[in-house]
Amino acid sequence: MNYNEILKRAEKYISEETEQKFIEEVKELIQNKNEKELTDRFYRELEFGTAGLRGIIGGGTNRMNPYVIKKATQGLAEYLIRAKPDKAASGSLSAVIAFDSRRYSDVFAKTAALIFAANGIRCYLFSALRPTPELSYAIRELGCDTGVVVTASHNPPEYNGYKVYWSDGAQITPPHDSGIIEKVGSVSSVKLMNEEEALKSGKLKIIDKEIDDKYWAMLKTKITRTAIIKEMSKSVKIVYTPLHGTGAMHVEKVLGEMGFTVITVPEQRAPDGNFPTVSYPNPEDPKALKMAIELAQKENADILMATDPDADRFACAVKDENGNMQLISGNQMGALFTDYICLTLKENDKMPKNPAVVRSIVTSPLSDLIAASYGVKSFECLTGFKWICGMAEKMVNSGSHSYIYGYEESFGYNFGTEIRDKDGIAASAICSEMALYWKSKGKTLLDRLNEIFTTFSFYGEKTVNLQYPGAEGLTVMQNMMKQVREKKLNEIASVKVKKIRDVQESLEYNPVNPLQTETIDLPKSNVLQYYLEDESIICVRPSGTEPKIKIYIIYPEKVTSSVSAAKACSDKKIEEFEKCFKGILNA
């Protein structure tokens, strides 16, 4: 695209944008003849992907701003009207919108609400920021046909996003995702309505505490050991950080009502889209928890908890025998939750018929072994809670199994069918109860985790991120995946590969006989998994939201003398696998 075409796009954008700051940004770039920056901002439209939008905030068609939000919402509205013609004809279509603490989230949310209203779709808009799991809950509570949350989750502060949900409360999956993408791509004009008119017509309704109260009431149903909580909750001290996001109001209320002493990191309590105390507000990253760890050490806390800016992810650290805070990985917390949920259902004689847990294919299979020990079946799905909760929905509709829990290694956990996404608020409540239960048995969460390792093997893990930014990075990643797929590896770090699962081709095979294949029942996705003879698993895939290739390495080591010795063996083997596989990708 030549510079004159870029300038034409910029002028058109200026004429249609409503946010003055972004208009001024672009005008200044034109005045300064900043061809490079203008090209980056206008060489394409910000892509509406299978989960919605995510991009850098600013002026331009390749940025997050009201212009882009209007087009995306118009496309979503048109798809909704086409998908549900009877409801559209009767004027009964509805949507609900929530937003987080990021810059312009409130502006983007209101912009989207007014587009829905202009298209005859009644829109419920939260009056202030709310966590993503509450948005998922609100969709079905209000009987809405779709939902939107304005968030970029745990990404750096320069980003924002727009995530779309269907009427089941889960993120969009086929065929709706591709149908919405097609509609958004073909939008030629946008319907508009001002706020006063939308409110007066009843097409815009501001919601607030009424949904909070119902969400909190639902969370309370997840709490089962009320006697232990009443007796012992004051004996557990918790330090919590919302990382400048939406979590504080809900976590403090829920844990406070349970009777726990909760100390919130004061510098990180207030919502702030600039995330002034962290460069990357991701609770998976230990650097983001530095202030919380320091406060936990100072307060001699038993547990540290964190949620990401939209409070769907949950992280936890526990005081070890030396008084230091030890971080628990997403896989390890997932195993603890699997164990505790199954144990609690069994002890209370409430285990349903054909119980099932669901995890993503890149998540440790340790939970499968735990679940099986309680007579619970495990299922795998693609990465992302749209797939985990989509599988839960199918189980509910078919009656084949009773879904009790789902999780993935990236600190996401879901507890039942009321919410169809990961829920950091519920995780904080159930983790607190779980810690109290094991304390009543004279154990910490770390003690119970070590018991699990001793029973089933220590499952070592590492996720390696290889960055490939820019337009050329996409080509590099595509070529890497193509080349490694064609190699049909039969050995990695001197360990034989017994099975390759190629999710993009919907098949798996032994590399010794690659023509003898078996079909796998998963949607197509650019993922390769290697199952090795020593029971280790190596998985490689391009990230769906960032310019990087992700390698997941899982290595089980039987505990013979001690968990620490098994961990040392596992860590060494994972290091060998990482070095070897990086070499294979870069060959």
What are the residue numbers of the active site?
153
Query: Which helix H or strand E contains 138, and what residues bound it?
Result: helix 132-141
Question: What does the alpha-carbon distance between residue 322 and residue 582 come to, in Å, rounded to a whole number?
Answer: 36
| Residue 274 CB burial class (10 angstroms; 0-12, 13-18, ≥19) | exposed
Residue 125 contacts residue 113 (beta carbons within 8 Å) = yes
> How many CA atoms, within 13 angstroms, populate the side-chain half-sphere of residue 318?
22
> How many residues does this entry show for the chain?
587
Question: What does the alpha-carbon distance between residue 145 and residue 151 come to, in Å, rounded to a whole number?
Answer: 20
Question: What does the alpha-carbon distance between residue 385 and residue 149 come to, in Å, rounded to a whole number?
Answer: 15
Task: List % helix, strand, coil for the chain (3-state, nearest 5).
Answer: 45, 20, 35
Q: 226: which residues sit within 8 A by CB, 6+ positions away?
A: none
Residue 271 contacts residue 244 (beta carbons within 8 Å) = yes
Q: 206: which residues sit within 8 A by CB, 6+ positions away?
A: 124, 125, 126, 127, 199
Q: SS3 of 568, please?
A: helix
Q: 218: which residues sit within 8 A by CB, 6+ positions away?
A: 137, 418, 419
| Residue 289 CB burial class (10 angstroms; 0-12, 13-18, ≥19) | buried
Question: What does the alpha-carbon distance between residue 7 and residue 325 come to, in Å, rounded to a whole number?
Answer: 54
Residue 305 contacts residue 383 (beta carbons within 8 Å) = no
Query: Which helix H or strand E contains 159, and what residues bound it?
Result: strand 159-166
